[in-house]
Chain A
């Protein structure tokens, strides 16, 4: 990745220029971003089909491959591994390269590892549909997909960390703290969970505890960290101010790491009482770091929010993602206990974090990164499609979140009162709310399509420019 061009950066003699950095990112980051968005579309469609079966049980009846019990985990895992984690690698690589002012190590190797990741996710999703799911939430991929996933992750993360090590800008900005933490966190939780569940097979309910611990860490630490990395990068950049309160951000960062990994087990009833109690307390305490981080962002952008909302497509996504982060944290802290246990309210946290907090932040970031790496502009070619992507994603997340939450409240009422008829109040009674969820997944698929179309336009324009110039 050497070019004859002299470095335009004067800050550091060895530092590559922005153009060089971006050139090194082009192949792997665009590949990861494109595949991630494609998985978002696929996962949303699978989730949509599954949600219809919740009130229309004869829909797609009679084929085991598409029964709810397989379609739903296939959708969630497609969204988690295909969309969320894959997109976060794109974001991580790009942030490391930009903020560290360094060219990516082994862009080709990264692309090949990303390709393998996609193959593994595809195999995993088909494995679930074929009936090989492991039975643990967010870890449903069978072993034959889980091992390649881990191997491709190891390559991606290793090259990412090598790149970080070679950075020319030594100071690590807040965004990179989150990226580093998440990159180190993920292999530990994944190997622990896969080792204990699929390899060593710990006995009894410990399995459910391990799976819950993994799922919570994936959502609360890994994906939330990537979302925060994006927020801390783009918010100061968009409003063109330095980060207002780095001390607060630092405190929030460490507290989030210390407290975030303790939640997620309030969903278990058949375990010693201290386990859900500890998790419930952690769900409340984690409000502190989340607030600290968001206040630091808010102080940075204060006064310029309305202006940035109007001018900048990325910023709109990020603002909503930040509000959703606050919302989902409070929601879990206030209502996350015994009352909503075993309802859609509790299980929908996965959807809101995956698609809302992380999903919107990531889509927002990609609306800046993809044009930088293709046309060289700051925005995607079609602002109309960008608008469609934003509003569809926003409505999609809101519909899914609100639909599941309202259905969950109705279920909680039935769970708490044996006098209510289970079938009438708890099953038939929530069909309306679940229809909202179906619409929400549809909107999310549309948002992914709009983004992909815009992506395609940008790539075409880029190719036309290059090839046109050569001719």
Chain B
């Protein structure tokens, strides 16, 4: 090769390819991402951080906490389920107790068929009607419909090669428990179909989601972190190494899910968590003997400072004199407390509020 310019042009072309794919394309895809409204409230997620927490973000960056802590919860898969909440009623609902007995035993016959369709692994027990009820024309009509549906179901079962067990739990048992988990950890299509079958039969059913994976099991977050969680951050400190636990949802972490588990003593849990985090900053080894989290004693004053609004002294432990958290310590804790990912997003739902599954819900594949 003799010509430098050709060489240079080729190199720049190669670079332009990777630049277009890995810098331009993500910017086009994610650049316009905006906070999402939180259902049933006027708030959005992620919310703008209040001033103190925004200052805390700077302390977090400045002290390099991101060198040891990630803020990215991972999740293996997103699976779905169907839950039966109420039997409901319709024309084919009959009461199996005699009128005047004071008891009611409503059976939604359509629901039994729907359940049987959703759960081919369960048998169907006979519905026995006390003879006096057979005089009721409504009951007779409903039973007739039920028998016809059963025959259709039997036919469909035979066609699909489904053999229902004759012993063990039946759909009748399942319909008797509420709430009942009809399907657990299945794909979105199966769960959606089951929910539709159940609601069509007049019952109240909902779609349940299951976020799975070690991070979720550890209690580090309700769902995986997604790009939208960070639209208000600058700089975005995702972290790439977990010497310490993930902090993406530290603000909502249950006490027993900390690396050094603890318990709330009273009812003012917010104040307790804040106190706990201040002590952690002052010296993590007071809370977990083996912790390698660096202590930030320089964020605390030994003597009561002269400034007004110095704040309450922090009682570190019984043996040690109290210390006075500086402004930066309070800011950092305020920032840590804003870390949360329990808000359901269309692209990353949380179990509490299940959105309808859509194609975009597939979690990041490993």
Contact = CB atoms under 8 A, between A and B. Distances in A.
A209 B22 contact: yes
A342 B244 CA distance: 10
Interface of A: 53-55, 57-58, 61-64, 67-70, 72-73, 131-137, 164-165, 170-172, 177, 180-181, 184-185, 188-189, 192, 196-197, 201-210, 213, 217, 221, 250, 254, 257-258, 261-262, 265, 267-273, 275-279, 337-339, 341-344, 346-347, 411, 415-418, 422-424, 426-428
A345 to B, nearest CB: 10
A188 B83 CA distance: 55
B365 to A, nearest CB: 5
A100 B366 CA distance: 47
A382 B260 CA distance: 54
B364 A276 contact: yes
A278 B22 CA distance: 9
A206 B67 CA distance: 19
Nearest to B64: A69
A257 B23 contact: no
B4 A272 contact: no
Interface string B207-251: 000000011011000001111111111111111111111000000
B294 A53 contact: yes
B33 A204 contact: yes
Contacts of A278: 21-22
B63 interface: yes
B290 interface: yes
B11 A346 contact: no
Interface residues of B, number: 81
Given A70-B64, A338-B74, A428-B290, 4 more contacts: A57-B295, A62-B295, A261-B14, A270-B226
A209 B23 contact: yes
Contacts of B239: 342
Nearest to A342: B242
Contacts of B22: 209, 213, 261-262, 265, 275, 278-279
Nearest to B260: A423
Given A133-B61, A272-B227, A417-B214, A258 B14 contact: yes
Interface stretch (B24-32, B104-112, B131-139, B141-149): B24-32
B12 A184 contact: yes
A111 B71 CA distance: 43
Contacts of A347: 240-241
A84 B2 CA distance: 28
B243 A54 contact: yes
B67 A204 contact: no
A180 B8 contact: yes
Given A172-B7, A180-B7, A210 B23 contact: yes
Contact of A257 (B10, B67, B243): B10
Contacts of A346: 240-241
9 contacts: A64-B298, A68-B68, A68-B294, A203-B30, A205-B30, A257-B15, A422-B218, A423-B259, A426-B242
B153 interface: no
Contact of B26 (A180, A184, A206): A206
B11 A72 contact: no
A209 B290 contact: no
Nearest to B228: A204
B324 interface: no
B18 interface: yes
